[in-house]
Every structure is written in structure tokens, then in C-alpha cells.
Amino acid sequence: KKGEKQLLVQCLTALYGTMVALLLYYKKFVKSLKSKGFKLNPYDPCVANMEIDGFQLTVTWHVDDLKVSHVDPFQVTRFAEYLASIYGEKLTVNRGKVHDYLGMDLDFSIKGKVKIGQIKYTRKMIDKFPEPITYSAATPASEYLYTIRNSTDAKPLDASRKTAFVHTVAQGIFLSKRARRDIQNAVAFLSTRVKHPDEDD
């Protein structure tokens, strides 16, 4: 192509993690839901509902992580068996009032309410951060948050620290969208600094 040699290969199975693989999986999963009688939510294409015995069976998913709910636990069991018949019997099923789902702790202990937290996720972020965190702050966004040194005065991060910074900012974005709205301002600014982070960042 344009004078450059290229290697072309043909895959016998879909490569996990590629856009095409995700789309193929989504289409197959939705087809299996619709054949069972589910209707997709018009506002969220990863939510499907079906009425069974006068009550709604709801399936929400992110790629291949599902949350299924129905007033009758037996209906959830039947749905899990249906999925196992299609995708194999290596399904991991967790039941109960408290679930760890996509880094979120979902607690349904109080009837009619759900408590969503990410304490374990946050603890893991802190514990895996490569440098010691020696103090806490009263607010996530200090008054000097937007102050950027002149490029001649700034001390850029080395490659490994830059990688750690980018990784932590990405984790912060995920956290800020679910359980910690209070860090959105700081994370939004830090996300603009991922190309050339320095010691101040």
C-alpha cells in the first residue's frame, strides 16, 4: 500500500478486545435476548426487559458483565441456564444483596433502595499508586489546580511516572462518573495534562 509492504492475516476466531469483536458479541447477545422475548430499552441499548408472571425481568450489561433482576429468584436461575445453553457452562453467577459490579459496590440490603459505592476501588487506586501518599486534602481541587508552570520551569515526569499518572487519571475519570462526583473538577483538569505531565501534576 503506497509502496509499503503489508502483512495480511485471516483470523479463525474474533480477537477479544477489538471493536469488531465487541460489535459481533453485542449483536449475538441482543439477538439471543430478542429471541427469548426481551425488548431493548429505547434510551439505553445495553438494557433489556421482559415481563414474566406480571413482573419485569431486567438485564443490564457492559460487554459480558451482566446484572439480572426479577422479583422471583427462580426466573433469574432460568435466565442463567438459558445463557449457559448458548455461551457454555462457564458462567460466574453471584447472588445476594451485595455485589461487586464493574468496580462498583451495589448494596440492595434496604428494600426499594440501592447504595452505590467504590470504596474498594478507591483503596486499590491508592494502594497501587507507585509513590507514597503522605497527606490528605480538605478538598479535591486546591486553589492552585489550574496554575501551570512555564515549560522551562516545569519538571517533566519520566516515562514510568508518566504511565502511572495517565493510568491514575483514567481510573479517576471512571471513579468520578460513578461514586465520586466531587473529584470531577480536578480529574477533568488533570486529563488535559496527560500528554506532558510534570511534577506539579
Cell of 76: 433469574
Side-chain half-sphere exposure of 53, counting CA atoms within 13 A: 7
Which residue type occupies 136? S
pLDDT score for 77: 92
3-state secondary structure of 178: helix
H/E segment holding residue 28: helix 19-36
Q: What is the pTM of this model?
A: 0.66
pLDDT digits (tens, 9 = 90+) for 95-140: 888 988 888 898 999 998 999 899 999 999 999 988 888 888 888 8
Residue 89 has pLDDT above 80, yes or no: no
pLDDT digits (tens, 9 = 90+) for 134-190: 888 888 877 888 888 888 888 999 999 999 999 999 999 999 988 889 999 999 999
Sequence-ordered list of residues with C-beta below 8 angstroms from that of 160, at least 6 positions apart, any chain: 130
Encode 11-43: b = buried (16+ Cβ within 10 Å), e = exposed: eeeeeeeeeeeeeeeeeebbeebeeeebeeeee
Contacts 24+ apart (CB under 8 A), 166-173: 166/194, 166/197, 168/125, 168/129, 169/193, 169/194, 171/121, 171/125, 172/125
Residue 2 has pLDDT above 70, yes or no: yes
pLDDT score for 14: 62
